[in-house]
Chains A and B, each alone.
Chain A
Amino acid sequence: MFIVPFLICFPLVMAFLMFVIREKKLQAAIAYIGAAVIMAGAIVLFMQWLTNGSTRISLYGSEGMVDHLILAGELALMVLVTVLCFKYRKYWICLLSIIPTLAVAYYELTGPELKAMARVRIDTLTVLMVLIIGIIGSLIVIYAIGYMDGYHKHYKDVEDRRYYFFMLLFAFLGAMFGFVMTDSLLWLILFWETTSVCSFMLIGYTRTDEAINNAFRALWMNLLGGCGLSAGVVVFGYMTQLGSISGLVYQVVQNSDVYALLAVTLIAFAALTKSAQLPFSTWLMGAMVAPTPSSALLHSATMVKAGIYILYRLSPAMGGRATGTMIALVGGFTFLMASIMAIAQTDAKKVLAFSTISNLGLMVACAGIGKKETLWAGIFLMIFHAISKSLLFQDVGATENTTHSRDIESMHGLIYRVPKLAIFMFIGIAAMFLAPFGMLVSKWSALRAAVDERDIVVALLIAFGSATTAFYWTKWLGKIISPTHNVIHSEIKDITKPGENLSLTVHAVLMIALCIVFPFLSDTLVKGIVLDTYGSYAPVIPTMVLYSLVGIVVVVFLIPLIAWRIGKERKHNVKLAYMNGINTGTNTGFIDSFGNEKQLWMSNYYFENVCGEEKIMVPSQMVAIVAVIVMICMAIGGAL
């Protein structure tokens, strides 16, 4: 399977090309081609896997050479991090890189000989991840080409380092491909650290103080996770002479090996940092300073999904064990708290970020409960979330370029001002929480699975979290469709580039299509994943029901259309809005206390005093820290 190394290496080659070719046009052209090739590559892999009978494929049984290369790569990363830390005088952070890397190197070079294992394993989950990364990732790259143009026109004071940006994007994709395809824990560490460092560099793109601070925050949190991962790998390796993920899971599930469980706990801890769960959510918030494509990439297809991916891999090992319970708890708690914090945000990207954290929380909870049903729900959550979040980030970015603001309050009446972007935004947001979109159904099955597992706390957290989630999305949607009350803003030219449009359209179409092929997806990919992971499959929602769901989906889609048709027939007399009898003749203002015209302004509710990030971030971090510490202590206690 040549395609496997190709998918890992080609993006790296592209990254290099991006770095050397600085001529804008050429660079863009190559980037387009590269993105297309990556997308094609992902599809090719999917095809090959299908033709191979959709079964697990193991490759590269003994690759000592490559293992050493990988180790060298890790060391190189360590050096890079150390240099950067010194450059920006964040000395202590480099310790988080140096210690685990050296520990791993020491273990690698002097530790026990590992039993034979496949370095690469292609199973259904991998294929799904490759598809997500390949398709959404490349679309983001395509989008970014157009976006960065607008971005640098808008932010003149930011140095134009597009080559650097695209280099990182491609490198990121390569690392992600590697991450989801490998079964070797050692390889995993390298790809893990690579994504950490890439995201760190992406966040620092603008090189403002804020960007640099946030970048380092992201770095240390992710490196801390890296420490956990490395520690887990080392402990596991020493105790069992195994070095693969599948081996790890096997040890726990079949042998109830306490050391393996400790390793699982540590790796799960690492996943918490990567997936920006409480108490590590702040890095993802800080990542917002970077240009939007990088946010889109971090939030949808890559980075945070890496944490989720690894948790899904480990979920059989966690189900029914203390680690799983605590992970589920942290996830559920994050789901609720992040959605509450999202309420207080006006910055669209921040809302998206909190929503990402929140939804990841749900996925983490699914993984933590670790049953077939939850995995089923979790996978759907991941798919739908990846697409809609990517769509939303891109759309918010495009909107920001067009209207020069990404404040939700200033999106008032967007549908009248920039209809196209508003419609995409509408689809993206609706997909996040409204019936009939998949996110809601997945949430429903997650709830159901939690109940089946008698996990009362998670069930409660989901019940309350759904309510808060619906709140912030709905008010945003409302903002888009309410007519503008300031005339000045209404004259706006949509400057969205064709590339951006292409990417947005594909996302939106994909989103709607997935709602309809939902049952099919369930029967193929998702079923395969559950089978791969648990060896058996019992659909949470029977396929029959899924098909009837699709029927309802169609009905629910059709209803607004029918209503729209009928509504159009009706003739209306348009009247002034009610303003206590003192309109000024338009709906934009009223006569104020001094007899002058005053502009009406309606703003949404934010509950800053209750839901503000400042108010509840720290307390919820505290709770989560306690949960995480308890989890690790229990695992260590169990091991000793």
Chain B
Amino acid sequence: MAEIINPADVLIDIDVTELLPKVMEFKTNGYRISQACAAYINEKYELSYSFTDLNTYEFITLRVVIDVDTEVPSISEIIPAAVFYENEMKELFGVKIKMINLDYDNKLYRINAKAPLGPKEGN
């Protein structure tokens, strides 16, 4: 019978300033990005950057909770594969991400609405 590898997911809360060093650390430890996403909950952004190890199937999520106005550095310089995730967060949520490698400048999806998943303006 084949072995099952099913480690428990890990969630680490970090501060936005720790983001880049932490990501760098993951990268050097051989993790790669599995997903990155944002959520707008309680007037704050929750950014999740999930990393995974392909051999152990570990799944570690970095959670950054920030205010709407906080600027976030792009991790695409360290992890090029994050480009599309970051463009998406920027366009759909309005997260202020700086210096994305290939910045579509809110035209990845070219939607009419502005940051539809982010804070509702005017309400």
A residues neighboring B (CB under 8 Å): 593-595
Contacts and interface: CB of A to CB of B under 8 A. Distances in A.
A597 to B, nearest CB: 13
Contacts of B105: 594
Interface of B: 104-105, 107, 110
Question: Chain B interface secondary structure, helix, strand, loop or mixed?
Answer: loop
A328 B26 CA distance: 70
A256 B89 CA distance: 90
Which 5 A-B pairs rank lowest in CB-CB distance, beginning with the nearest?
A595-B107, A595-B110, A594-B107, A594-B104, A594-B105
A517 B107 CA distance: 65
Contacts of A595: 107, 110
A593 B108 CA distance: 8
Contacts, number: 6
A304 B98 CA distance: 65
B29 to A, nearest CB: 34
A426 B110 CA distance: 46
A575 to B, nearest CB: 25
Contacts of A593: 104
A418 to B, nearest CB: 39
A595 B110 CA distance: 7
6 contacts: A593-B104, A594-B104, A594-B105, A594-B107, A595-B107, A595-B110
Nearest to A595: B107
Nearest to A596: B107
A593 B104 CA distance: 8
Contacts of A594: 104-105, 107
A595 B103 CA distance: 12
A613 B64 CA distance: 58
Contacts of B110: 595
A595 B108 CA distance: 9
A594 B104 CA distance: 6
A594 B105 CA distance: 8
Nearest to A594: B107
A493 B113 CA distance: 48
Contacts of B104: 593-594
Contacts of B107: 594-595
A69 to B, nearest CB: 77
A176 to B, nearest CB: 62
A541 B110 CA distance: 68
Nearest to A593: B104
A594 B108 CA distance: 7
Nearest to A592: B107
B112 to A, nearest CB: 12
A594 B110 CA distance: 9
A593 B110 CA distance: 10
A164 B67 CA distance: 79
A592 to B, nearest CB: 10
B10 to A, nearest CB: 37
A595 B104 CA distance: 9
A178 B110 CA distance: 75
A378 B73 CA distance: 74
B113 to A, nearest CB: 15
